[in-house]
A and B are shown apart, each in its own frame.
Chain A
Amino acid sequence: MGEVVIEETRIVEEPAESRGGVWGFITYWGLHAWVLAYTVVMLSAFFIQFVKGEFPCPLCMLQRYGMILATLGALFIIMQARRGQLTTARYAQGLGLGLIGVLAGASVSVRQIELHILPGDPGYGEPFLRLHLYTWAFVTFAIVMIYVGLMLILMPRGIPHAPAAGSAARKVSTAIIWMFIGVVAANVIAIIFLEGFAPVLPDDPSGYTLIDQIKGR
């Protein structure tokens, strides 16, 4: 009777504190770049909404939703790293959240691109650098997909390593995180004004429904 060999599966749960170095630095700040980039993208969307007076359609809001959902994965990894609790498994979980989030957002972008794909269709809203915002949204989702793929290739060498508590770098990290949380909170307020007392956004919004409802229009 042959010998049965059982392969040992090791669950990677060791704290990643011993890692770091250049790759740990790059991946940690790469995640901040992700958070900051989507914060700036959503601030730009606010600029177009409030300054240029273009109201976001439901698909536009769902793309913002996808951006936030994905960025929560990055935020999850950053906070685990800051607490010294980041393991390879938790890092993979955060990247997984990010990847599914961008896939969900990209699905919405593709749907909106297809809505306006026919020749002669002017598209929704004003284009920016020759592309409409939903096309740019798809580009950002694709970039994050590539980023997550690269981070998975680099793992475990590139486990993010947080700077020491109280350092200037930690304060920069905190500022970026709170900018993101602030933008998410602003989106909550914006969507309340856009929806009013309705449970969902109107298909083609032309104003702030809540204000109209309060004024009895």
Chain B
Amino acid sequence: MILLLAIALLIWRGAKRGLILTLWFVGLAAMIGLFRFHVTSVLDLSF
């Protein structure tokens, strides 16, 4: 979340586009990693 705040502030300050896009993808990777960490069970569903 701190990373997302940093990206928002960098966008506001007009940082280089490459830096913003790189950090955004780092943020996305972190989100996917957290999702992977928290989702450990297989859903017991049958239709």
Chain B min CB distance to A122 (Å): 17
Q: Using Cβ atoms and an 8 Å threshold, which residues of chain B touch A185? A: 5
Chain B interface size, under 10 / 10 to 19 / 20 to 34 / 35 or more? 20 to 34
CB within 8 A of B8: which of A90, A93, A100, A184?
A: A184
Q: Using Cβ atoms and an 8 Å threshold, which residues of chain A touch B20? A: 76
The answer to whether A62 touches B35, judged by C-beta atoms less than 8 angstroms apart, is: yes
* Contact A69/B21 with A59-B38, A62-B35, A79-B11 known, Cβ cut-off 8 Å: no
A104 contacts the other chain (CB 8 A):
yes
The answer to whether A111 touches B12, judged by C-beta atoms less than 8 angstroms apart, is: no
* Contact A184/B24 with A104-B31, A117-B45 known, Cβ cut-off 8 Å: no
* Contact A188/B5 with A72-B24, A101-B28, A104-B31 known, Cβ cut-off 8 Å: yes
The answer to whether A115 touches B43, judged by C-beta atoms less than 8 angstroms apart, is: yes
Query: From A114, which residue of chain B is reached at the shortest CB distance?
Result: B43
A135 contacts the other chain (CB 8 A):
no
A196 contacts the other chain (CB 8 A):
no
Alpha-carbon distance between A83 and B12 when the two chains are bound, in angstroms: 10
Query: From A115, which residue of chain B is reached at the shortest CB distance?
Result: B43
CB within 8 A of B11: which of A72, A187, A200?
A: A72
Query: From A104, which residue of chain B is reached at the shortest CB distance?
Result: B31
A147 contacts the other chain (CB 8 A):
no
Chain A min CB distance to B11 (Å): 5
Alpha-carbon distance between A14 and B35 when the two chains are bound, in angstroms: 39
- Please, what's the 1-or-0 string for B1-45, where 1 marks a CB less than 8 Å from any CB in chain A? 110110111011010010011001001100110110111000101
A to B CB contacts below 8 Å, 27 in the list: A62-B31, A62-B34, A62-B35, A62-B38, A66-B31, A68-B4, A68-B8, A69-B27, A69-B28, A72-B4, A72-B7, A72-B8, A72-B27, A75-B8, A75-B12, A76-B20, A100-B28, A107-B35, A111-B35, A114-B45, A180-B8, A181-B5, A181-B9, A184-B1, A185-B5, A200-B38, A201-B38
B residues neighboring A (CB under 8 Å)? 1-2, 4-5, 7-9, 11-12, 14, 17, 20-21, 24, 27-28, 31-32, 34-35, 37-39, 43, 45
List 14 other contacts, CB 8 Å, given A72-B8, A104-B32, A185-B5.
Answer: A62-B35, A62-B38, A65-B31, A66-B31, A69-B27, A69-B31, A76-B20, A79-B12, A90-B17, A104-B28, A115-B43, A181-B5, A184-B1, A184-B8
